[in-house]
Protein backbone atom coordinates (compact mmCIF):
# COMPACT_ATOMS: atom_id res chain seq x y z
CA UNK A 1 0.00 0.00 0.00
CA UNK A 2 2.81 2.42 0.82
CA UNK A 3 4.45 1.82 -2.58
CA UNK A 4 1.16 2.63 -4.28
CA UNK A 5 0.92 5.86 -2.28
CA UNK A 6 4.46 6.81 -3.28
CA UNK A 7 3.60 6.14 -6.93
CA UNK A 8 0.49 8.33 -6.67
CA UNK A 9 2.54 11.08 -5.07
CA UNK A 10 5.16 10.90 -7.80
CA UNK A 11 2.48 11.19 -10.48
CA UNK A 12 0.99 14.17 -8.66
CA UNK A 13 4.43 15.79 -8.49
CA UNK A 14 5.05 15.25 -12.19
CA UNK A 15 1.75 16.81 -13.19
CA UNK A 16 1.89 19.63 -10.65
CA UNK A 17 5.39 20.56 -11.81
CA UNK A 18 4.10 20.54 -15.37
CA UNK A 19 1.23 22.85 -14.49
CA UNK A 20 2.72 25.19 -11.90
CA UNK A 21 5.97 27.01 -11.37
CA UNK A 22 7.82 26.30 -14.59
CA UNK A 23 10.54 28.74 -15.47
CA UNK A 24 13.06 28.56 -18.28
CA UNK A 25 15.88 28.65 -15.77
CA UNK A 26 14.72 25.62 -13.75
CA UNK A 27 12.85 23.57 -16.35
CA UNK A 28 12.81 23.06 -20.06
CA UNK A 29 9.74 21.92 -21.95
CA UNK A 30 7.84 19.13 -20.21
CA UNK A 31 7.65 16.17 -22.56
CA UNK A 32 4.89 13.69 -21.64
CA UNK A 33 6.35 10.95 -23.83
CA UNK A 34 8.48 9.62 -21.00
CA UNK A 35 8.71 10.83 -17.39
CA UNK A 36 11.48 9.64 -15.09
CA UNK A 37 10.87 10.39 -11.41
CA UNK A 38 13.61 9.56 -8.92
CA UNK A 39 13.56 9.78 -5.12
CA UNK A 40 16.83 9.84 -3.17
CA UNK A 41 17.35 9.20 0.54
CA UNK A 42 20.77 10.43 1.65
CA UNK A 43 22.71 8.65 4.39
CA UNK A 44 23.06 11.99 6.21
CA UNK A 45 20.15 14.19 5.09
CA UNK A 46 20.97 16.86 7.69
CA UNK A 47 24.59 17.19 6.57
CA UNK A 48 25.01 20.51 4.76
CA UNK A 49 28.23 19.22 3.19
CA UNK A 50 26.57 16.08 1.82
CA UNK A 51 23.57 18.03 0.52
CA UNK A 52 25.82 20.58 -1.19
CA UNK A 53 27.95 17.84 -2.77
CA UNK A 54 24.84 15.99 -3.98
CA UNK A 55 23.19 19.12 -5.40
CA UNK A 56 26.39 20.25 -7.12
CA UNK A 57 26.91 16.86 -8.75
CA UNK A 58 23.24 16.59 -9.77
CA UNK A 59 23.15 20.08 -11.30
CA UNK A 60 26.40 19.46 -13.18
CA UNK A 61 24.98 16.24 -14.56
CA UNK A 62 21.69 17.82 -15.65
CA UNK A 63 23.46 20.81 -17.20
CA UNK A 64 25.43 18.43 -19.40
CA UNK A 65 22.79 15.82 -20.24
CA UNK A 66 22.10 15.64 -23.97
CA UNK A 67 18.75 13.90 -23.48
CA UNK A 68 16.94 15.28 -20.42
CA UNK A 69 14.26 17.85 -21.20
CA UNK A 70 12.50 18.72 -17.95
CA UNK A 71 15.09 19.04 -15.19
CA UNK A 72 13.43 19.49 -11.82
CA UNK A 73 15.22 18.95 -8.50
CA UNK A 74 13.00 19.05 -5.41
CA UNK A 75 12.96 18.58 -1.67
CA UNK A 76 9.95 17.36 0.31
CA UNK A 77 7.62 20.09 1.55
CA UNK A 78 6.42 20.14 5.12
CA UNK A 79 3.12 18.35 4.68
CA UNK A 80 0.54 17.63 7.30
CA UNK A 81 -1.56 15.15 5.35
CA UNK A 82 -1.22 11.44 6.04
CA UNK A 83 -1.01 10.52 2.34
CA UNK A 84 2.12 12.62 1.73
CA UNK A 85 5.41 10.75 1.99
CA UNK A 86 8.07 13.28 2.89
CA UNK A 87 10.68 10.74 3.91
CA UNK A 88 12.95 11.30 0.90
CA UNK A 89 15.78 13.84 0.84
CA UNK A 90 15.60 14.85 -2.85
CA UNK A 91 13.39 14.20 -5.84
CA UNK A 92 14.26 14.49 -9.50
CA UNK A 93 11.80 14.76 -12.39
CA UNK A 94 13.28 14.41 -15.86
CA UNK A 95 11.34 13.95 -19.09
CA UNK A 96 12.43 12.58 -22.43
CA UNK A 97 11.11 12.58 -25.98
CA UNK A 98 11.15 8.77 -26.06
CA UNK A 99 12.02 5.60 -24.19
CA UNK A 100 15.09 5.37 -26.44
CA UNK A 101 16.26 8.81 -25.29
CA UNK A 102 15.81 7.73 -21.67
CA UNK A 103 17.87 4.60 -22.37
CA UNK A 104 20.65 6.69 -23.93
CA UNK A 105 20.54 9.03 -20.90
CA UNK A 106 21.23 6.05 -18.62
CA UNK A 107 24.49 5.38 -20.48
CA UNK A 108 25.70 8.94 -21.13
CA UNK A 109 28.93 10.11 -19.50
CA UNK A 110 27.37 12.92 -17.34
CA UNK A 111 24.88 10.43 -15.82
CA UNK A 112 27.56 7.84 -15.11
CA UNK A 113 29.78 10.50 -13.54
CA UNK A 114 26.90 11.64 -11.31
CA UNK A 115 26.41 8.06 -10.09
CA UNK A 116 30.15 7.71 -9.46
CA UNK A 117 30.33 10.99 -7.54
CA UNK A 118 27.10 10.72 -5.57
CA UNK A 119 26.20 7.09 -4.97
CA UNK A 120 28.24 7.06 -1.76
CA UNK A 121 25.96 9.84 -0.44
CA UNK A 122 22.66 8.00 -0.79
CA UNK A 123 21.18 5.19 1.22
CA UNK A 124 18.25 4.43 -1.07
CA UNK A 125 16.95 5.36 -4.52
CA UNK A 126 13.52 4.62 -6.00
CA UNK A 127 12.69 5.29 -9.65
CA UNK A 128 9.25 5.58 -11.26
CA UNK A 129 9.11 5.74 -15.03
CA UNK A 130 5.85 6.51 -16.81
CA UNK A 131 4.45 7.32 -20.22
CA UNK A 132 1.52 9.56 -21.15
CA UNK A 133 -1.70 7.53 -21.28
CA UNK A 134 -2.75 9.33 -24.47
CA UNK A 135 0.18 7.91 -26.44
Domains of the chain listed by start with CATH number: 2-130 (3.30.70.100)
pLDDT higher than 90, residue 127: yes
Let me know if 4 is exposed, middle or buried by CB neighbors in 10 A (0-12, 13-18, 19+).
Answer: exposed
pLDDT tens per residue, range 66-91:
999 888 999 998 877 888 889 999 99
Q: Is the pTM of this model over 0.85?
A: no
Confidence (pLDDT) at 132 = 85
- Average confidence score pLDDT of the chain: 82
Q: What is the 3-state secondary structure (H, E, C) of the chain?
A: CHHHHHHHHHHHHHHHHHHCCCCCCCCCCCCCCEEEEEEEEECCCCCHHHHHHHHHHHHHHHHHCCCCCCEEEECCCCCCCCCCCCCCCEEEEEEECCHHHHHHHHHCHHHHHHHHHHCCCEEEEEEEEECCCCC
pLDDT higher than 60, residue 2: no
Confidence (pLDDT) at 5 = 52
pLDDT tens per residue, range 23-53:
444 345 676 788 999 999 999 999 999 999 9
Q: Is the dihedral of CA 20, 22, 26, 32 positive or negative?
A: positive
Let me know if 111 is exposed, middle or buried by CB neighbors in 10 A (0-12, 13-18, 19+).
Answer: buried
In angstroms, the CA 70 to CA 17 distance is 10
Greater model confidence, 104 or 10: 104
Amino acid sequence: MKLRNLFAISLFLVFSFYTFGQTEKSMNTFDPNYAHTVFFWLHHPDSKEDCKAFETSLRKFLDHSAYAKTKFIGKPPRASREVVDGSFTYSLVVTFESAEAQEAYQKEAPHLLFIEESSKLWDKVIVYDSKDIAL
